[in-house]
């Protein structure tokens, strides 16, 4: 996000992922921001991950706009952690989501921002971002020349609630389960270039090669698209693991951004069930670049239909 963008009170932001989501910047200033997006046809076909993807995308954008009002010349905000709590079932494709955010506190270069995502006046999600202000460097970008942040590398410390146990995955079955095939055939999965590598015991390994529509700028995956990759992987894992009569509903997700996720190369996406009860499933996903470095970790909780 460039300084020119942060001062624009309205209009669409010319970043590929923002364009994909039809982002409207309604108000920015004084530590606050209001933005809107439309749930487009690229999210069609799966109620199970549609709302997390749409809500997380808007949350990342509107909360970072709020952060941008506290940046100083030569600095820009970069997401460190995004938390989204989901409160309702998904709105249909074509729904207009409106996000509101406000800076809650600052400590030096660290910012804490909270917000809500609504549809038709009802809250569908609440969100929190921890952001860092980092130096801005000038360099070329494929769709928005100018600013590219020097992103901090967070310490790769496992999340306290979930650390996957290393295990070998079974080889890809000769005929992967139809439920997994159905997830990987969704428009969003095609857009993310996702393919099955291995399906094992409560674990799935995939590759991804995100299309240009998921880009931020400077050859980097947009932060709001990171939960999309993890959500698709965990959806495929749930489809292969749970009984068909059990309908999973996402309750929350937390994304830790460790380093920028590059575009134009093959990424590895792994999802593992780390805890399971009769009613709840906790899933840990990791995204790795072509060099095997972790770029993001995402932790999700899903509730299973109590009637199953």
Say what the pLDDT of residue 49 is: 64
Question: Distance (Å, rounded) from C-alpha 303 to C-alpha 69?
Answer: 37
Show the tokens assigned to 8: 């624009």
Distance in Å from the first CA to the final CA of the chain: 46
Tokens of 19: 């364009």
DSSP bridge pairs for 303 = 249, 280
pLDDT at 75: 79
- What would be the CATH architecture of the domain defined by 1-136? Roll (3.10)
Task: Give pLDDT, residue 166.
Answer: 41
Which range has the worst mean pLDDT, 42-46, 49-53, 70-74, 198-202?
Answer: 49-53
Least confident of 19-28, 153-162, 281-290: 153-162
* Helical ranges in the chain per DSSP H: 3-6, 16-20, 47-68, 178-184, 187-192, 226-241
Are 217 and 141 in contact by the 8 Å Cβ rule? The answer is yes
All structural domains of the chain with their residue ranges: 1-136, 167-308
Q: State the fold for domain 167-308.
A: Thiol Ester Dehydrase; Chain A (3.10.129)
Q: How do residues 130-187 score in pLDDT, each as one tens digit?
A: 988 888 654 433 333 233 333 443 444 444 444 443 444 444 444 457 889 999 999 9
Please count the other Cβ atoms lying within 10 Å of the Cβ belonging to residue 153.
11
pLDDT of 80-125, one tens digit each?
999 999 998 777 888 899 999 999 998 888 889 999 999 988 999 9
**Exposure class string for 11-48: b at 16+ Cβ within 10 A, else e:** eebebbbbebbebbbbebeebbbbbbbbbbebbebbeb
Strands 195-200 and 280-288: unpaired
In the structure encoding, which two tokens stand for residue 28, read together? Answer: 């920015």
CA distance 209 to 192: 6
The pTM (predicted TM-score) of the whole model is 0.82
């Amino acid at each position: 996000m460039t300084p020119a963008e942060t001062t624009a009170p309205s209009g669409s932001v010319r970043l590929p992922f923002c364009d994909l989501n039809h982002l409207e910047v309604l108000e920015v200033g004084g530590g606050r921001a209001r933005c809107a997006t439309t749930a487009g046809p690229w999210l069609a076909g799966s109620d199970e991950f549609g709302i997390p993807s749409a809500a997380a995308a808007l949350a990342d954008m509107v909360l970072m706009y709020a952060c941008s009002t506290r940046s100083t010349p030569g600095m820009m905000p970069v997401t460190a952690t995004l938390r989204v709590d989901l409160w309702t079932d998904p709105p249909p494709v074509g729904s207009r989501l409106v996000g509101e955010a406000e800076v809650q506190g600052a400590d030096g270069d660290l910012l804490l921002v909270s917000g809500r995502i609504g549809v038709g006046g009802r809250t569908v999600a609440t969100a929190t971002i921890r952001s860092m202000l980092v130096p801005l460097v000038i360099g070329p970008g494929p769709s928005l020349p100018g600013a590219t942040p020097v992103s901090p590398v967070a310490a790769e410390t496992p999340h306290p609630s979930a650390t996957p146990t290393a295990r070998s995955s079974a080889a890809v079955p000769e005929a992967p389960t139809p439920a997994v095939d159905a997830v990987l055939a969704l428009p969003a999965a095609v857009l993310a270039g996702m393919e099955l590598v291995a399906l094992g015991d409560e674990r799935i390994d995939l590759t991804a090669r995100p299309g240009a529509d998921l880009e931020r700028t400077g050859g980097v995956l947009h932060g709001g698209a990171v939960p999309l990759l993890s959500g698709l992987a965990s959806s495929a894992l749930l489809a292969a693991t749970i009984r068909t009569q059990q309908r999973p509903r996402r309750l929350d997700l937390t994304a830790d951004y460790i380093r920028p996720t590059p575009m134009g190369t093959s990424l590895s996406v792994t999802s593992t069930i780390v805890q399971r009860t009769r009613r709840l499933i906790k899933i840990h996903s990791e995204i790795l670049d072509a060099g095997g470095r972790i770029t993001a970790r995402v932790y999700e909780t899903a509730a299973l239909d109590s009637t199953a």
